[in-house]
Amino acid sequence: MLYPLKFEPIPMPKIWGGQKLKRLYNTDEYDNIGESWLVSAIAGNESVVKSGFLKDNSLSELVEVYLNDLVGNEVYRRYGNDFPLLVKVIDAADDLSIQVHPNDEIAKERHNSFGKNEMWYILDCDKEAFVYAGFKRKITEKEYLKAVENNTLEEYLQKHIVNKGDYIYIPAGCVHSIGRGCTIMEIQQSSDITYRIYDFDRRDKNGNRRELHTQEAVKAIDFENWQKTLSPTLFIDNEVRKIVETPYFKTSISCVSKVQELDLSTIDSFVLISVLDGKLNINHPSGKTVANNWETVLLPASLDSVILSPEEKSQILITYIE
């Protein structure tokens, strides 16, 4: 019988990465970890199961073997053996580049890949930390190209001061950047395609500037849907509330303060439980899986329900595909 799956986190050192994610690895081996991939089927960086009889199996292997029992009938019909989502934690000790991601159509044509629609949940942040998402006003492609040429693009971007618990949806085609001092849980399509527009003229340890993708980016930007909204999260104890609803995934929040059943019988999809704050036991017919702070557990579609038992009050994201 399939059981709730935890995976070994995958460290991603970045030029802008910090030290907060080291605790996920219990080692000082890594420096400047910018991202920790919690659930991934990206080739070359695939998640492997951490424990149980499926230990050391990759996520792609599990999909190939268990098919719709793992991901759900409709999800398997749409995506086949391609697991459709990627979950990561981001620690931005410095500003990320200003960038954009392609939609499904462009990504398929250029890279034979999914596009990249994503949501961010602010796990922690410094005072006055911010993200860029969207433009301050509607601008033309000509204005945009002139701003890129003059290194003045920041003047056109919508700046959002963030607080712990805020969230925002970043659709493909939205120009964006994560500012220094933000720690973020990101739920996204299974894609690692980024078009870097501006990188603050910084250099890597070898003195080289990182590659920019100006021409690729301009055709990927959605100049019509330019305005984006950052929202605070309102947790109500033991109540599930939907916060993001897209064709690619749906995400809800809940604050688990007592033992309760999570009914999965009407969801024809795998379900991802991401712990934002707290520690949660997930009890199931095969035993118990512990989800610690900033970890994600994959609940197979074959499970009709699990029992959530908090060791301490736990704030969680619940993500699935409908």
Q: Is 40:46 a contact under the CB 8 Å cutoff? A: yes
Question: Is 210 one of the catalytic residues?
Answer: no
Q: Is 32 exposed, middle or buried (0-12, 13-18, 19+ CB in 10 A)?
A: middle
Q: Is 70:4 a contact under the CB 8 Å cutoff? A: no
**Whole-angstrom distance, CA of residue 313 vs CA of residue 258:** 8
CB count in 10 Å sphere of residue 316: 26
Catalytic residue among 196, 202, 203, 210: 196
**Whole-angstrom distance, CA of residue 104 vs CA of residue 99:** 17
**Whole-angstrom distance, CA of residue 199 vs CA of residue 15:** 11
What does residue 70 show for φ and ψ, rounded to 5 degrees?
Answer: -85, -50
**Whole-angstrom distance, CA of residue 231 vs CA of residue 88:** 20
| Residue among 122, 126, 121, 120 at smallest CA distance from 181 | 126
Residue pointed to by tokens 């059943």: 261
Q: Catalogue the active-site residues.
A: 196
